Amino acid sequence: MKRANRPCLRKKEGYTLLELLVSLSILALLTVTLLGTGFNSRDAFSDSAYDAECEKILYALLQYQNEAIMDGYRRQVRFLDDGMRVVWTKNGVSQTEQIAVKTLRFTGSYTGATALNLYGHGTVSQGGTINLTSLSGDVKRIVVQVGNGRIYLDES
């Protein structure tokens, strides 16, 4: 018996309605699962912003300490509510720089009336800690050692 050459009724392109419904139901199930487990991208973003600001403060302190060593002029650092202020006088001209923060608060040895002085020979005025507290309550500490003037982020 001879087969008739008939055109195929179903094209091979595109998706069927059933395939689309199955895909959408899987996507909805994954979305509900992620929301139910407490996944929140805003928290992940704020944590990474906090980490970045902690590193920014640490590296700024190290930079100002290196500049004091290079040019011999003392830097005075104050930790305020809205950021870190660094003041120094070079060749009779007073200079000030402000480093703003948005995701953390400062507490510890150098807040209030006490300032951290970074001297030209690499030492500091006093040892202590700078607590970097996130808006959610996480705390990282920058440690300043008296004597050798070492400044580092305490990861413990």
Per-residue pLDDT reduced to its tens digit, 121-135: 989 999 999 999 998
Q: Using CA atoms, how far apart are residues 32 and 54, in angstroms rounded to an integer? A: 34
**Res 114: pLDDT:** 87
Domain ranges of the chain: 45-154
CA nearest neighbour of 53 among 88, 96, 102: 102
pLDDT at residue 38 is higher than 60: no
Q: How confident is the model at residue 112 (pLDDT cuts 50, 70, 90)?
A: confident
pLDDT at residue 40 is higher than 60: no
Whole-prediction pTM = 0.70
Task: Fill in the DSSP letter of residue 150.
Answer: -
Q: What is the CATH number of domain 45-154?
A: 3.55.40.10
Say if residues 101 and 82 touch (Cβ distance below 8 Å). yes
Task: For 41-99, write each residue's pLDDT tens digit.
Answer: 555 567 889 999 999 999 999 999 999 999 999 999 999 988 999 999 988 999 999 99
